Amino acid sequence: MFYVSCSMISKEEVKHIAKLARLGLSDKEIQKFQKELSSILDYMKKLNEVNVSRVAPTSHPFELENVVRLDKGEKLDPKIKKALLGQAPKTKDGYLKVKSVL
């Protein structure tokens, strides 16, 4: 049912996707994913058999109405705020602290 694709995606492409996902990968993983993603994506080509030219896409199983509320902030329980910030590796004065961006 499955076969190794003749149109393998390239190593560079795998690296590019990993960068988009901000996902570090080892060389071994890059090689592994190059093969695996190619054969999985090949399997997806099955969808080309279906004519969907007049079909609308579904993002959600049912039509839901927007849920709205007044544009007013709610006060956060300080206990929860502390618990949430307490999960962060680094904080300063109630803010998250990160390394320099540039």
Partner 1 sequence: MELTNLTISQAHQGLKKKEFSSHELCQAYLEKIKKLDKKIKAFLVVEEDLALAQAKKADSLIAKGKNISLLTGIPVALKDNILVEGLKCTAASQILKNYTAPYDATVVKRLKGENVVILGKTNLDEFAMGGSTENSGFQPTRNPHDLTRVPGGSSGGSAAAVAAGMACFALGSDTGGSIRQPASFCGVVGLKPTYGAVSRYGLIAFASSLDQIGPITKTAEDAKSVFDVIKGRDKMDSTSAEFPKIENLKFKIENLRVGVPKEYFVKGIHPQVEKVIRQAIKKYEEMGVKVEEVSLPHTEYALPVYYILAPSEASANLARYDGIRYGFSDSSGKDLMDIYLSSKDKGFGLEVKRRIMLGTYALSAGYYDAYYLKAQKVRTQVGEDFKRVLKKVDALFTPVSPVLPFKLGEKIEDPLSMYLVDVYTVSVNLAGLPALSLPVGKVGKLPVGLQIIGRPFEEGKILEIGKYFDKIS
The reply to whether 80 sits near partner 1 by the rule CB under 8 A is yes
Q: Which residues pair with 91 in a beta bridge?
A: 96
Q: Sort residue 3 into left (φ over 0), alpha (ψ -120 to 50) or beta.
A: beta
- List 4, 6, 24, 70, residue binding partner 1 (CB under 8 A): 24
DSSP 44-71: HGGGGGS--TT----SSSS--PPP---S
- CA–CA separation, 11 and 30 (whole Å): 7
4 binds partner 1 (CB under 8 A): no
* Binding test (CB under 8 A) with partner 1, winner from 4, 21, 78, 92: 21
- Per CB under 8 A, residues contacting partner 1 are 2, 14, 17-18, 20-26, 29, 33, 36-37, 39-41, 43-44, 46-47, 49-50, 52, 55-62, 64, 67, 80, 83-84, 87-90, 96, 98-101
